[in-house]
């Protein structure tokens, strides 16, 4: 059974810092990996999607990397802003099923202090 772990569970940084969020998964047979953002009382917003054949994806100040063989992904946030405060979730889609279920980590709660 696929298990997804995110470290740290919570992170508090001053505005302007660069930071890295970590995600690891136990089964490397994945189809893709996504990073989501969740604001309190809100649904999830997809930030970046990395296909299994890719190594990284970038969007603005966000960069996500994928090392499938070692079962790891990182989300790098440059020049953090208070508006980046949210919970960040990573999720993997398995290769062996024909469905589209995602397995999520428990998330990293990020606070960026002004």
Partner 1 sequence: GAGVSQSPRYKVAKRGQDVALRCDPISGHVSLFWYQQALGQGPEFLTYFQNEAQLDKSGLPSDRFFAERPEGSVSTLKIQRTQQEDSAVYLCASSRNDRGLSNEKLFFGSGTQLSVL
Binding site for partner 1 (CB under 8 A): 4, 31-32, 34, 36, 41-46, 49, 51, 89, 91, 95, 97-107
SS3 83: helix
CB of 70 to partner 1, least distance (A): 21
CB of 50 to partner 1, least distance (A): 10
SS3 3: coil
With respect to partner 1, which residue has the nearer C-beta, 15 or 106? 106
DSSP H or E run through 64: strand 62-67
SS3 54: coil
Q: Are 94 and 103 in contact (CB under 8 A)?
A: yes
Q: Are 90 and 4 in contact (CB under 8 A)?
A: yes
With respect to partner 1, which residue has the nearer C-beta, 51 or 111? 51
Q: How far apart are CA 103 and CA 106, in angstroms?
A: 10
CB of 9 to partner 1, least distance (A): 9
With respect to partner 1, which residue has the nearer C-beta, 43 or 83? 43
CB of 101 to partner 1, least distance (A): 4
With respect to partner 1, which residue has the nearer C-beta, 36 or 86? 36
């Amino acid at each position: 059974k696929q298990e997804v772990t995110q470290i740290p569970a919570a992170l508090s940084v001053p505005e302007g810092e660069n930071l890295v969020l970590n995600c690891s998964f136990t089964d490397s047979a994945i189809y893709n990996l996504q990073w989501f953002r969740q604001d309190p009382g809100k649904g999830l917003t997809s930030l970046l999607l990395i296909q299994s054949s890719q190594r990284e994806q970038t969007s603005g100040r966000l960069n996500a990397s994928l090392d499938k063989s070692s079962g790891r992904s990182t989300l790098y946030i440059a020049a953090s802003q208070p508006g980046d405060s949210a919970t960040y979730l990573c999720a993997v889609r398995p290769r062996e099923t024909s469905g589209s279920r995602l397995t999520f980590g428990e998330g990293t709660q990020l606070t960026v202090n002004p």
